Amino acid sequence: MKITDARVIVCSPGRNFVTLKIFTDQGIYGLGDATLNGMEKSVATYLTEYCIPALIGKDPGNIEDIWQYFYRGVYWRRGAVSMTAVSAIDMALWDIKAKLLDTPLYNLLGGRSRDRILVYAHANGANLGEAVENTAREVEKGFKAVRVQCGIPGVGNAYGVVTDKKPYEPAKRGLPPEEIWDTSLYLNYIPKVFGKIREVFGNDLHLLHDVHHRCTPIEAARLAKELEPFHLFWLEDPVACELQESLRLIRQHSTTPVAVGEVFNSVFDYTTLITEQLIDYIRMPLSHGGGITHLQKVAAFASFYHIATGFHGATDLSPVTLAAAIHFNTAINNFGIQEYMPHSEVVGDVFKTNYKFENGFLTIDDSPGIGVDIDEKAAARYPYITARLPVNRKSDGTLFNW
């Protein structure tokens, strides 16, 4: 079997997506998600100019060797752009192999370990009243786990909160908007938010919260400790953790579970975090963390340290990644939870999907491969639109983590 051609499809049904389609001499093609929010064209160019020419003629069945070719074989290893490209290639190759064998992807990853995938929804509110209302809305839809984000009095832009009543969507058209942030006001207010949410919804609803890298280690330790009575499912990205050792401080002070790594792209971002058991969930998604081939190794490594998966699943990951993640989560033993931020309806014009949400869980059907298809004619009706993630500043103007 040979790879005969490949192309990159960039489209914007409501938001930008980059999709790699790899063709073979057996008439089978595979799809991989190459979307990197706000940097879409860098990945598209890397794939088109550098990777695709080297893919043509290779046997798509040799997934491990091709993975190594684009990781080890490329002198400039790692980094978000190149690892997103490697991930897309890898996903498409697994899709091809499973289609060739006429079996759903999860069968190649070990078969079923479970029937359904626990997911968490997003609820946000400009103020506490709205956060309670919107949490109730997700609970009514059947979600058993909800991530709650809330506006903070006196803070211009709390992360994950919308003011226009539209669903929260990371990335805005044009150049990066600038947001204003104040950690001390946030730290004083957020325990009140979770106190109220617990009081209204009781103890059984799983609650999650994303700090989005905005605390220093000691601030994060205080936050994790003060949120402890509300038994969060997890506290996400409490610090920007290029410095993995910084997570030690949080562990010394709190039993609040920690989830980290949506911006990671390699196992080497995780080694201290995993071996010292400084976290509880790995967030690195299939589309940025080296695809199925690399995540299988990371998840297996994490499993020995009682760490589970909790993959990133915001709308800037395409339906191809979500479906691949459901297969992956179906197969592994140390699955924890999957983020599920449903795509807007218009995404369905371009991507034909094979998963279903029911009563708090996602399931996937048994169509061969990953099971998602792309309608290229429809994709052409939604051309790329420049959109970028915000830049964040403290209230005195200092540039800060977004």
Is 206 designated active site?
no
320 binds ligand GCO (CB under 6 A): no
Q: Which amino acid is at 375?
A: D
In the β-sheet with 17-24, what is the strand arrangement from edge to edge?
3-11, 17-24, 29-33
Q: Which amino acid is at 217?
A: P
The DSSP letter of residue 147 is: E
User: Site size for ligand GCO, by CB under 6 A?
Assistant: 10
User: The tokens of 381 are what?
Assistant: 């009706």
The one segment of 34-42, 62-70, 194-202, 207-215 that binds Mg ion by CB under 5 A: 207-215
* Residue (20 or 36) nearer to ligand GCO, CB: 36
37 binds ligand GCO (CB under 6 A): yes
40 binds Mg ion (CB under 5 A): no
Choose which of 40, 95, 138, 210 interacts with Mg ion (CB under 5 A). 210
Report helix, strand or coil for 124: strand
212 binds ligand GCO (CB under 6 A): yes
Give me the 288-317 binding string for ligand GCO, x by CB under 6 A, dash otherwise. Answer: ------------------------x-x-x-
Provide the minimum distance between the beta carbon of 38 and ligand GCO in the complex, in angstroms, as a whole number.
7
319 binds ligand GCO (CB under 6 A): no
The DSSP letter of residue 244 is: G
210 binds ligand GCO (CB under 6 A): yes
Provide the minimum distance between the beta carbon of 167 and Mg ion in the complex, in angstroms, as a whole number.
16
Distance in Å from the first CA to the final CA of the chain = 45
Provide the minimum distance between the beta carbon of 83 and ligand GCO in the complex, in angstroms, as a whole number.
15
Provide the minimum distance between the beta carbon of 312 and ligand GCO in the complex, in angstroms, as a whole number.
6
Our measurement of the distance from residue 176's CA atom to the centroid of its chain's CA atoms, rounded to an integer in Å, reads 21
Angle between helices 80-100 and 319-331 (to 10 degrees): 70
* Residue (95 or 210) nearer to Mg ion, CB: 210
373 binds Mg ion (CB under 5 A): no
Provide the minimum distance between the beta carbon of 160 and ligand GCO in the complex, in angstroms, as a whole number.
6
Q: Which residue out of 212, 213, 312, 343 is catalytically annotated?
A: 212
Is 343 designated active site?
no
Contact call for residues 6 and 52 (beta carbons, < 8 A):
yes
Q: Which residue out of 46, 71, 120, 159 is catalytically annotated?
A: 159
* Residue (212 or 294) nearer to ligand GCO, CB: 212
Provide the minimum distance between the beta carbon of 169 and ligand GCO in the complex, in angstroms, as a whole number.
9
Provide the minimum distance between the beta carbon of 352 and Mg ion in the complex, in angstroms, as a whole number.
28
The one segment of 70-78, 136-144, 243-251, 259-267 that binds Mg ion by CB under 5 A: 259-267
The one segment of 1-9, 45-53, 117-125, 202-210 that binds Mg ion by CB under 5 A: 202-210
253 binds, among Mg ion, ligand GCO, none (CB under 5 to 8 A by kind): none
Contact call for residues 374 and 351 (beta carbons, < 8 A):
yes
Rg (CA), the chain: 21
Long-range contacts of residues 271-277, Cβ cutoff 8 Å, at least 24 apart: 271/244, 272/244, 272/245, 272/247, 273/241, 273/244, 273/247, 274/301, 274/302, 274/305, 274/307, 275/305, 276/248, 277/251, 277/305, 277/306, 277/307
Distance CA 230, CA 204 (A): 11
Residue 210 contacts by C-beta under 8 Å, 6 or more apart in sequence? 147, 149, 159, 160, 236, 237
Q: Between vectors from CA 133 to CA 127 and to CA 137, what angle results, nearest 5°?
A: 140
Give me the 324-353 binding string for ligand GCO, x by CB under 6 A, dash otherwise. Answer: ---------------x--------------
12 binds ligand GCO (CB under 6 A): no
* Residue (162 or 180) nearer to ligand GCO, CB: 162
Distance CA 22, CA 356 (A): 26
**Residues classed as catalytic:** 159, 212
**Residues of the shown chain interacting with ligand GCO in the complex, contacts defined by CB under 6 A:** 37, 170, 210, 212, 262, 312, 314, 316, 339, 389
